[in-house]
Amino acid sequence: MRRKRYNKYVYMILLLGTFVYMAVGYSILTQIVKIEGTASISSTWNILFTKIEEKRMHLATTKTPPIITDGTKATIDVELDEPGSQAVYEVTVANRGTLDAVVKDIKGVKEVNEKAPKAIQFYINGIVVGDSLNVNQEKTFEVVVTWNKEIESTSEISKEISFTIDFGQKASENVERPSMSIPTYTMDIDNTLWSREKNVTIHYPEGEGYSYQYSLDEGLTWKITPSKEYTVKFEKEGSIIGRVSDGKSSLTGELQRVVNIERNVPEAVVNGNTDAWSTS
């Protein structure tokens, strides 16, 4: 008897101009996630897409290369193969107008990700409230869609994901850049030295409502830390990434590799003269 399969579809729409609107919807019919995205930009500010590229694909395939048409429309079509899959795209936006712009708000990401079903998580990384996009400048940020393998997927579910990035004219009354900054790391034993174990401490910026996270598998899955300083013990070689989120967007630190760990330290035996010493 043939086993019944189910499909999962995800649809994504991205708009840029005085604001950015992104919507994602999917329904499960097989154990494959298909993402189709369409993006459009208003010419009011002449803020436009210049590039969309794959950055990291894990158990995921771009079915159709991202296409940008006249700087105002972008399409992404990608499949996530199974729970644990992840697709990361780097999006570049540019200000080709005559007015400096600033990100005034980012809305909807936290609220939508808290809605059921939670197996598919969506977030943006690398752009925060207060970021400037001045005339002739470009800025890149990440669009990340993950099929969380820790959350059970049902056979038939649907979900819409949307967020808005508001751009406004840059002026003296604009909001200041928030205190959210990229996490940093310290190690108790340098990577150039061998040790039985090593400890890495992640230092997060302090801020109300911030979520502190870290990943031990190069960003595929994330765990939440209880405080703005968190230490992870390594008893074998690995890597760690720290990430901070304000519920609207996130900033991610560089991947920190931890090497030169050896648990089986050889014993050193010194053999000397066992004869008794005598004086003459």
In SS3 terms, 212-244 reads as: EEEECCCCCCCEECCCCEEEEEECCCEEEEEEE
Query: Quick check: is 265 in a domain?
Result: no
Which of residues 126, 146, 169 is at a domain's end? 169
Would the pTM count as exceeding 0.85? no
Give me the domain span that covers residue 224: 184-258
Query: For 64-100, what is each residue's pLDDT tens digit?
Result: 777 776 665 666 667 777 788 888 889 888 888 887 8
Query: Quick check: is 78 in a domain?
Result: yes
Query: For 24-39, what is each residue's pLDDT tens digit?
Result: 323 333 334 444 444 4
Nearest to residue 254, comparing CAs of 240, 268, 264, 267?
240
62 in the same domain as 130:
yes
Q: What is the number of domains present in the chain?
A: 2
156 in the same domain as 21:
yes
d(CA 247, CA 257): 27
Mean pLDDT of 100-105: 80
Least confidently predicted of 66-70, 173-177, 189-193: 173-177
136 in the same domain as 202:
no
Buried b (16+ CB within 10 A) or exposed e, 135-155: eeeebebbbbbbbbeeeebee
Which CATH number goes with the domain that contains 193?
2.60.40
Distance of CA 24 to the CA centre of its chain: 17
- Please classify residue 21 by burial: count the beta carbons closer than 10 Å to its beta carbon, then call 0-12 exposed, 13-18 middle and 19+ buried: middle
Query: For 260-276, what is each residue's pLDDT tens digit?
Result: 998 776 666 666 666 66
In order of 30, 174, 225, 228, 279, the CA distances from 242 in angstroms are 33, 29, 10, 11, 66
112 in the same domain as 55:
yes
Counting every residue, how long is the chain?
280
